Amino acid sequence: MTNIEELKLARSDDENIRRMLTQNPNTSAETLDKLSEDESQFVRVRVAAHINTSSETLDKMSKDESEYVREFVAEHLSTPVETLVELSKDRLMAYWVAGNPNTPVNILNKLSEDEDENIRASVSVNPSTPVETLVKLSKDDNEDVRAAVAKNPNRAS
């Protein structure tokens, strides 16, 4: 399918056609950018999760009204670091940012001290979390946080 055909399908009134585009691993970044503004939250979530979605589109989607869309943006490996930093300031997104291996170390360290044990557990399994932070988290009061540290491949032996 050509890019022109994709873009034509992206304007379809049939949501199922637009959904199918978001499920195709070959859909272009340009088409995904167009679909990132779709009225359907489901379509936008699929765009935010798509491997071909550009970092520019992910940055734009980080401001989406839908919490679910923003969660997928926070998890995406192509989300720009600056966008992750901004998303980390949103209490609803901190858990998802904490698990992204591209999150800067200073943000991981900050999130490792969060009052929410789920956020600390997410930092604990992140392969980019520094060993020193993992050591601290291995002594956390919460059993789930300590168990998450045990799953991290970079934990101190």
Distance (Å, whole) CA 11 – CA 143: 49
Contact 102, 81 (CB under 8 A): yes
Q: Give tens-digit pLDDT for 72-108.
A: 999 999 999 999 999 999 999 999 999 999 999 999 9
Both ends of the chain: CA-CA distance in Å? 51
What domains can be seen in the chain, in order of their start residue?
1-79 (1.25.10.10), 103-157 (no CATH)
Picking from 132, 125, 121, 77, the residue whose alpha carbon sits closest to that of residue 103 is 77
Q: Give tens-digit pLDDT for 25-61.
A: 999 999 999 999 999 999 999 999 999 999 999 999 9
Picking from 2, 58, 53, 3, the residue whose alpha carbon sits closest to that of residue 25 is 53
| Cα dihedral sign, 74-17-10-64 | negative
CA distances 61 to 126, 142, 144, 146, Å, are 23, 34, 31, 33
SS3 assignment, position 137: helix
Count of CB atoms within 10 A of residue 68's CB?
13
pLDDT in the model for residue 31: 97
Q: Is residue 75 within a helix (H) or strand (E), and if so which, with residue range?
A: helix 67-75
What pTM was computed for the model?
0.92
